Amino acid sequence: MKKPNAISKATIDRLPLYFRTLRLLQDEGRDIISSDELGRRLGITPEQIRKDLASFGQFGKKGVGYYVNELKRNIGGILGLDNHWNIAIVGIGHLGVALANYQNFVTLGFNLVALFDQDPNVIGRTVNHVKVEDVRRLKAIVKERNIQIGIIAVPAAFAQGVADLLVDAGVKGIWNFAPIKMKVPETMHIVNEDLSIGLSTLSYHITRM
């Protein structure tokens, strides 16, 4: 297997697409899928799929295709989804509540173990069976519950402060929904989800139809 830093970001970004499609195929009761059909479902050439998968080892059988359950298990292992990461959400407004109720966290192997907010009217409430804690207790709870991933769902003005708290608490990764560029150590893995960018891009294309 290639070293992680030798594998392109584009290849890594396609792995979750493969995993999601294989999950759907499982639900359909499919046992085997060819690279041609997988490519048609995803809009990716079969050559690219074979090249991506070859970066991590030998999968499938020539003339037969890929065994759905086996390939899904292998890609899940590559993505680290079998680690059952503990996650926490900071900011229990509308977005935070929606994320807390996202059922696919469990399906993907992520365990929602903590919710945080600073609003006294929110602290103490329960969302999806998880109690909302005072954000001032974040560091202690991160260590106590072995939380590896923090999700930021607060307004932009508070986001950097929350990121600093999560870094100080020792999380390994941050999923940020605030529309700002975070300043975090180079060793911190961060993924930014700016919903406004997606909608604005969609608006651009619709306007020019």
Is 123 known as a binding-site position? no
Nearest alpha carbon to residue 116 among 131, 129, 104: 131
Same structural domain, 144 and 115: yes
* Residue at a domain's end among 51, 81, 111: 81
The helix (run of H) or strand (run of E) holding residue 39 is helix 35-42
In a domain, 179, yes or no: yes
Same structural domain, 77 and 107: no
* pLDDT number for residue 48: 94
Same structural domain, 94 and 191: yes
* pLDDT number for residue 3: 53
Same structural domain, 92 and 44: no
Is 91 known as a binding-site position? yes
Buried/exposed code over 49-74 (b: 16+ C-beta within 10 A; e: otherwise): beebbebbeebbeeeebbbbeebbeb
For residues 3 and 93, the model is more confident at 93
Same structural domain, 136 and 151: yes
Whole-structure pTM value: 0.82
Query: Which pLDDT tens digit goes with each residue over 55-80?
Result: 898 887 877 889 999 999 999 999 88
In a domain, 208, yes or no: no
**Cα–Cα distance for residue pair 81/21, rounded to 1 Å:** 15
Number of domains in the chain: 2
In a domain, 206, yes or no: no
Q: Which domain covers residue 174, as residue numbers? A: 84-198
Same structural domain, 91 and 10: no
For residues 170 and 209, the model is more confident at 170
Nearest alpha carbon to residue 49 among 30, 76, 23, 75: 75
Same structural domain, 97 and 173: yes
Q: Is the pLDDT of residue 13 over 80?
A: yes
Average pLDDT, the chain: 92
Same structural domain, 51 and 39: yes
CB-based contacts of 122: which residues, under 8 Å, 6+ apart? 92, 132
CATH of the domain at 162: 3.40.50.720
Is 96 known as a binding-site position? yes
Same structural domain, 43 and 66: yes
**Cα–Cα distance for residue pair 9/25, rounded to 1 Å:** 25
In a domain, 209, yes or no: no
